[in-house]
Structure 1
Amino acid sequence: MSVIIRLFLAATGMAVALAFTPTSFIINRATIGPNRGSSSLCMVQGRGGGDNTYKRVFVAGGSRGVGRLVVDKLLASGSDVVALVRSEETSRELSALGGVTAIRGDAMDYKTVEGAMDGCDAAITTLGGGRDPRSDGKWVDYVGNNNVIEAAGVLGVTRVVLVTSIGCGSSKDATPPSVYEVLEDVLTQKSKAENVLIKYYTNMNWTIVRPGGLVSAPETGLSILTEDTTAIGSIHRGDVADLVVRALSSKNTERKILSAVDPSIASSANPARRTTEAFVLV
């Protein structure tokens, strides 16, 4: 990894950490009554139905971070996984897990993505990381994710979950200006990938999940998804993975854009203590 990219990622991490230092974030968990179940304003958190489990799921970005945890969650849910990874070490590690087929390749290459995804019935991409110096400075946040989306369309893999970030698209104003300024290039690239999925794959059952500031710590089990585009906060990587896999099998997430935050983690990004509603997963 080049010095420039390392400096960029370091600056990104510092900005996110500063954005999500303590105050509080409050979630109003509504209860579903007989006449309220269909309203997105009154939804609460729940679990996806088991009859919607996908048998073979393609994962891009499964080498580390949220993507690696998504692999574990998928296996626990009963799905087999095809993981596209770049390193031999990661390939050996994942191949040692029962139910995982690890394929070495680069998500920046469309044909590689298409070949790896062939035979899968769903796809999850958590790709990110900035410019790729081996690809004329192209961003994996857009090009890699776009390759996953395009390959899914070509192969008829109609179920796709794209993991981006709060600050993308309609949630731009949720991000503190000082943080957005640092992350603008990355968020712009991720937003481009979102737009491709939303505008050009109208027959696809897609879901976009936008996590808040990522925290490396054990899961709390208290994180939520919400349709509130102004929601802001932090979330542990394991909780993001849990929500992504639950959203994959949920009957309610078709063509939904959902932010992911953890109300138990205090955040200076929400000093007004504004509340938001959680989204139901059934």
Structure 2
Amino acid sequence: MRVVIAGGHGQIALRLAKLLSGDGDQPVGIIRNPDHVADVEAAGAEAVVLDLEKASVDEVAAIVRGADAVVFAAGAGPGSGAARKDTVDRRAAALLADAAEATGVDRYVMVSAIGADKEPPAGTDAVYAAYSRAKKAADDDLRSRSALAWTIIRPGRLTDEPGTGRVALDVEVERGNIPRDDVAEVLLAALRRPFTAGLTLELVEGTVPIVPALTDAAGDRR
């Protein structure tokens, strides 16, 4: 399986690339900074340098063409302002979807954020509010695309604790933490299970093994 990962140098993306390459798949990481090529390649992925904030649909399509799936794991990151939450977290996600549609790659897995459907409460930091709204807009755009078999995963607060392989995964869960290791494992499990298409699921640490948790969340879809 060839999987193109936008935001290929992100901590979740690198973990996912290692999992895919370890299984014999072919991950491809789209990165903005050429200094990150070695890190992406060390994770077992092909590195492609392209700035998604400046790229055209045709440029992204040239990378995506022939893939079995795409994963959006990009983010403007800490320290970026509200404007980049829109250009990366919303517009780049839509650009990847446009490229997938243009090349007939129908499988799209999105890394979103817990609570993205809800308006940020009064008093929320302006940059975080912009991030949350950008994630909601990106999710809404993806869910409107009938040509794509999309799955949206909305993790809680990310940590670098070792993964446990046990999660709480549902349409809505109580806010909590989730190791990046487990987010990557959930993304891999979703990629391998077509019955997760059409699901938007929140994710935090829990007690249920990942595959049964996905199966339970999918219900009659499986």
Q: TM-score range by the shorter chain?
A: 0.7 to 0.9
TM-score (norm 2): 0.83
Q: Which of 66, 73, 79 is residue 119 of structure 1 equivalent to? A: 66
SS at match of 1:142: helix
SS at match of 1:244: helix
1:221 aligns with 2:165: yes
Q: Which of 107, 116, 139 is residue 159 of structure 1 equivalent to? A: 107
Specify the alignment match of 1:52 in structure 2. Answer: none
SS at match of 2:214: coil
CA shift digits 1:109-134 (9 cap, x unpaired): 1343222212211101111126978x
- Tell me, yes or no, if the aligned pair for 2:7 and 2:74 is still in contact at 8 Å: yes
TM-score (norm 1): 0.66
SS at match of 1:58: strand
CA shift digits 1:30-57 (9 cap, x unpaired): xxxxxxxxxxxxxxxxxxxxxxxxx111
Q: Which stretches in structure 1 are left out of the alignment for 5+ residues?
A: 1-54, 265-276
Higher Cα Rg: structure 1 or 2? 1
Q: Which of 206, 209, 220 is residue 150 of structure 2 equivalent to? A: 206
Specify the alignment match of 2:94 in structure 1. Answer: 146
Task: Tell me the matched-pair count.
Answer: 207
AA aligned opposite 1:215: T
SS at match of 1:279: helix
Change (3 A) 1:151 1:245: same
Deviation (angstroms), 1:65: 1.4
Whole-Å separation in 2 of the counterparts to 1:254 and 1:193: 16
AA aligned opposite 1:192: A
Specify the alignment match of 2:219 in structure 1. Answer: none
AA aligned opposite 1:263: G
Specify the alignment match of 1:86 in structure 2. Answer: 32
- Tell me, yes or no, if the aligned pair for 1:215 and 1:235 is still in contact at 8 Å: yes
Q: Which of 63, 77, 88 is residue 9 of structure 2 equivalent to? A: 63
Specify the alignment match of 1:12 in structure 2. Answer: none
AA aligned opposite 2:36: T
Deviation (angstroms), 1:97: 5.2
CA shift digits 1:35-90 (9 cap, x unpaired): xxxxxxxxxxxxxxxxxxxx111001120211111111211232101111122232
SS at match of 1:128: coil
CA shift digits 1:214-270 (9 cap, x unpaired): 11222122224222x243211011110110111111132011001111026xxxxxx
SS at match of 1:181: coil
SS at match of 1:124: strand
* Matches for 1:1-282 after TM superposition, within 5 Å: 55-96=1-42, 98=44, 100-108=45-53, 109-110=55-56, 111-129=58-76, 138-169=86-117, 172=118, 177=121, 181-182=124-125, 183-199=128-144, 201-227=145-171, 229-263=172-206, 278-280=213-215
- Tell me, yes or no, if the aligned pair for 2:5 and 2:13 is still in contact at 8 Å: yes
Report sequence identity in percent.
28
- Tell me, yes or no, if the aligned pair for 2:101 and 2:147 is still in contact at 8 Å: no
- Tell me, yes or no, if the aligned pair for 1:225 and 1:258 is still in contact at 8 Å: yes
Q: Tell me which stretches of 4 or more aligned residues in structure 1 moved more than 4 Å.
A: 130-133, 135-138
AA aligned opposite 2:162: P
| Cα RMSD (Å) | 2.6
AA aligned opposite 1:237: R
AA aligned opposite 1:151: A
- Tell me, yes or no, if the aligned pair for 2:3 and 2:68 is still in contact at 8 Å: yes
